[in-house]
């Protein structure tokens, strides 16, 4: 039976524009590519990925009563996601990200959180009435909302999964209850610990530093084109990445963590789940956009079997 995951996070529209390079101040640069308005947001990416990979998903988020909010809610319903706990906040616009895609594959993002920043501890507490089997959120939310989610999960005896996206160096990790898996990328790891995980020794040092701040069962560091690093308090493993041709890194980290959580809840095996997540993240970067770049279960399994 599919696990029910309560996903809490932002919903936004990504305005994506291709550009040969970032223009200088006052320079008017003509783009030779196309632009697109694509559904995204870290919470939305995670929710769609978890649903696509076989979980039952309840999504807690906020949007405005505007065309973008309507489009996002319609998309979630179309994907089979439970939208009861998506609030329409008429005082804040739906989130928007401006994504500049450079010719060399690099991207620059300007994010307007809008309604996302209003997701509250009360929103999370109310969402627990859906009787989830697990909770997944990220550090893009307000600390009080994350603390409430962790507390409610602990009270219910549920695994709490936290993505490091949106990490700030003053985030009160010590106020969280137990974390089943914490998954930051290299930059987020350095923000949280002051240690850049650029080699195996520093991966271990950073993982230990995180575990000294809060009770964590597993730390899974997302290392980009170096794969990922798994630490359980005693042992560590580094899993190699899958070789693919990247066109857009948008949503790769969100999909990685969502795939990691979904597979972990299915199997209970952290290492195989991390390998599964590596494949999911790799496939995500081969497609343009956010929500629409989420790979299918079949695509992930085919990539794993071919390597």
> For 271-283, how does the pLDDT look when each residue is reduced to its tens digit (9 = 90+)?
999 999 999 999 9
- Predicted pLDDT at 99: 86
Indicate if the pLDDT at residue 197 is higher than 90: yes
- Span 30-57, average pLDDT: 92
The CATH topology of domain 4-22+33-305 is 3.40.1190
- Predicted pLDDT at 5: 98
pTM for the predicted model, two decimal places: 0.94
Indicate if the pLDDT at residue 297 is higher than 70: yes
Where do the domains of the chain lie? 4-22+33-305
**Would you place residue 17 in the very low, low, confident or very high pLDDT band (cuts 50, 70, 90)?**
confident
Indicate if the pLDDT at residue 305 is higher than 90: yes
Task: Give Cβ neighbours of residue 294 (< 8 Å, ≥ 6 apart).
Answer: 45, 48, 49, 52, 251, 255, 284
pLDDT top residue among 39 and 107: 39
- Predicted pLDDT at 184: 97
- Span 21-42, average pLDDT: 87
* 246-276 per-residue burial string, b: 16 or more CB within 10 A, e: under 16: eebbbbbbbbbbbbbbbbbbbeeebeebbbb
CA distances 121 to 83, 87, 108, 134, 141, Å, are 18, 13, 31, 17, 10
Strand partners, 87: 62
- Predicted pLDDT at 105: 65
- Span 60-70, average pLDDT: 95
Sign of CA dihedral 177, 179, 183, 186: positive
% pLDDT > 70, the chain: 99
% pLDDT > 90, the chain: 81
């Amino acid at each position: 039976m599919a696990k029910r995951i309560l996903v809490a996070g932002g919903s936004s529209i990504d305005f994506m524009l291709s550009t040969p390079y970032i223009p200088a101040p006052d320079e008017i640069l003509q783009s030779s590519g196309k632009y697109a308005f694509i559904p995204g947001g870290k919470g939305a990416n995670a929710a769609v990925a978890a649903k696509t990979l076989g979980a039952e998903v309840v999504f807690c988020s906020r949007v405005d009563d505007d065309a973008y909010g309507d489009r996002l809610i319609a998309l979630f319903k179309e994907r089979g996601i439970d939208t009861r706990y998506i609030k329409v906040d008429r005082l804040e616009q739906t989130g928007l990200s401006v994504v500049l895609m450079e010719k060399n594959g690099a991207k620059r993002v300007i994010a307007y959180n809008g309604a996302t920043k209003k997701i509250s501890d009360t929103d999370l507490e109310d969402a627990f009435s859906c009787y989830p089997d697990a909770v997944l959120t990220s550090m893009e939310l307000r600390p009080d909302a994350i603390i409430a989610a962790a507390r409610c999960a602990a009270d219910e005896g549920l695994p709490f999964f936290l993505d490091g996206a949106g990490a700030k160096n003053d985030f009160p990790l010590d106020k969280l209850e137990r974390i089943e898996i914490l998954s930051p990328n290299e930059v987020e790891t350095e923000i949280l610990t002051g240690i850049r995980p650029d080699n195996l020794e520093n991966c271990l040092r950073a993982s230990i530093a995180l575990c000294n701040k809060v009770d964590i069962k597993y730390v899974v560091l997302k290392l980009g084109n170096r794969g990922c690093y798994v630490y359980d308090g005693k042992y560590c493993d580094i899993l190699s990445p899958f070789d693919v041709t990247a066109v857009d890194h948008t949503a790769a980290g969100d999909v990685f963590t969502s795939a990691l959580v979904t597979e972990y809840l299915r199997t209970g095996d952290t290492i195989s789940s991390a390998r599964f997540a590596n494949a999911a993240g790799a496939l995500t970067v081969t497609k343009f956009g956010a929500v629409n770049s989420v790979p299918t279960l079949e695509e992930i399994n085919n990539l794993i079997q071919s390597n």
